[in-house]
């Protein structure tokens, strides 16, 4: 079976390496490719972005040189918005369409008026740390580590602005299927998640999992099973279309 590339975009404050462990847990026909953002991980020396579309276009140009179909995009929280913008950017550059877009853990692009309220302007360190507590994905030991926080908070501040300054555009819809994952106790409501259906002419699905904002880690096995099962369908469909 031909390999399918799965481009994975990180959530706010994270390196794309949060997905690296998935390599051992997905079948060989799925080629996991974490997409590192400027200003973190191996790209730590590069400037951080606060403009979502400019960042998506940069990432799309970087991927386009080697990206071949079939491929899919996955993103959690900030990464979901960025994955959607990358799909549009790749199309604008003449790139191939993804076989699927997975949007996880955040409100749809057209339903963010209240969701990102107050995030357009830079947050103080104290406000950022309190937000991390609310999201319940960072231990108190890490929050109390001044050296680690000095590295993390500038990234988180820029990433929150990426979301806070984001505004939806009127443009042709995507054609690929969109699959949404949500946490039952996360702040993204069912209606905000269902709003992702407005982003595509293709099919649409929503799966709700137990847990809060970081359900992708709390229930990793189930998340990966959902991704694998959906990709298997789209991969086979792509193979049939390509051979017709």
**What would the 3-class secondary structure string for 140-202 be?**
HHHHCCHHHHHHHHHHHHHHHHHHHCCCCCCCCCECCCEEEEEECCCCCCHHHHHHHHHHECC
- Report DSSP state, residue 80: H
**Annotated active-site residue in 12, 15, 20, 77:** 77
Q: Which tokens hold the place of 185?
A: 């106790």
Q: Of 221, 234, 235, 237, nearest to 22 (Cα)?
A: 221
Tell me, yes or no, if 104 is annotated catalytic: no
Own/partner pairs for 126-130, CB < 8 Å, 24+ apart? 128/153, 128/156, 128/157, 128/160, 129/153
Which residues have a catalytic role annotated?
77
């Amino acid at each position: 079976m031909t390999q399918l590339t799965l481009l994975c975009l990180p959530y706010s404050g994270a390196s794309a390496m949060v997905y690296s462990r998935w390599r051992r847990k997905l079948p060989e026909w799925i080629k996991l490719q974490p997409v590192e953002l400027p200003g973190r991980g191996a790209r730590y020396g590069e400037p951080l972005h606060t403009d979502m579309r400019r960042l998506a276009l940069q990432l799309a140009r970087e991927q386009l040189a080697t990206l071949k179909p079939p491929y899919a995009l996955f993103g959690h929280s900030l990464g979901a918005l960025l994955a959607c913008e990358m799909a549009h950017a790749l199309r604008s550059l003449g790139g191939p369409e993804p076989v699927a877009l997975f949007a996880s853990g955040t409100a749809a692009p057209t339903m963010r008026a209240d969701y990102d309220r107050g995030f357009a302007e830079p947050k103080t360190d104290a406000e950022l740390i309190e937000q991390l507590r609310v999201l319940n994905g960072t231990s108190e030991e890490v929050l109390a580590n001044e050296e680690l926080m000095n590295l993390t908070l500038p990234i988180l501040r820029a990433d929150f602005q990426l979301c806070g300054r984001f505004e939806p555009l009127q443009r042709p819809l995507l054609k690929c299927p969109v699959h949404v994952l949500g946490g039952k106790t996360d702040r993204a409501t069912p209606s905000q998640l269902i709003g992702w259906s407005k982003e595509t002419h293709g099919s649409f699905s929503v799966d709700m999992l137990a847990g809060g904002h970081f359900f992708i880690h709390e229930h990793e096995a189930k998340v990966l099973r959902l991704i694998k099962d959906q990709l298997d369908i789209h991969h086979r469909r792509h193979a049939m279309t390509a051979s017709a």
